[in-house]
Amino acid sequence: MGQELTLGAVERYLAALNGGDVDTIAGCVTPGFHNEHTSAAGRSLRGRDAYRAALKGFLGEFEELRYEIEDLIVEGDRAAVAYRMSFRLSGTPVEIRGMFRFRVEGGLIAHRVDYWDGADFARQTAPST
């Protein structure tokens, strides 16, 4: 698979996440998509339909969600993206740095592994005392 096809798939997927439309995002992944989270705070799942269903809650809870690409490396059908994710959770601004690892099949994301610091998320979203 050409690197251009992989790069295009990753860029479309990240743009779709920033756009916030569930169907557009789900349209960027394969029917057997594997969404894998390494953080204990994340939830892994398999399948486009399960992902679409989970996106509704995620996008509803994480207001003004934005992924800013810090670095993007593509090799064949694989890509790695260092990102800065920002959003509001119950009105509180949150910013998390993380890393996506992608595998692309036929121009769609087949596997996404998301690495981010759950402790940093908990610290930023903890109720003030």
For 85, the 3-state DSSP assignment is strand
Instruction: Kindly tell me if the per-residue pLDDT of 52 is higher than 90.
Output: yes
pLDDT digits (tens, 9 = 90+) for 69-125: 999 999 999 999 999 999 999 899 999 999 999 999 999 999 999 999 888 888 998
For 84, the 3-state DSSP assignment is strand
**What was the pLDDT predicted at 1?**
52
Residue 41 · residue 125 · CB < 8 Å: no
Question: What are the extents of the domains in the chain?
Answer: 3-125
pLDDT digits (tens, 9 = 90+) for 25-43: 999 999 999 999 887 667 8
Assign domain 3-125 one CATH number from 3.30.2130.10, 3.10.450.50, 3.60.21.10, 3.90.950.20: 3.10.450.50
Q: What is the dihedral of CA 65, 20, 32, 103, to 10 degrees?
A: -60
The two tokens of residue 61 are 């809870």
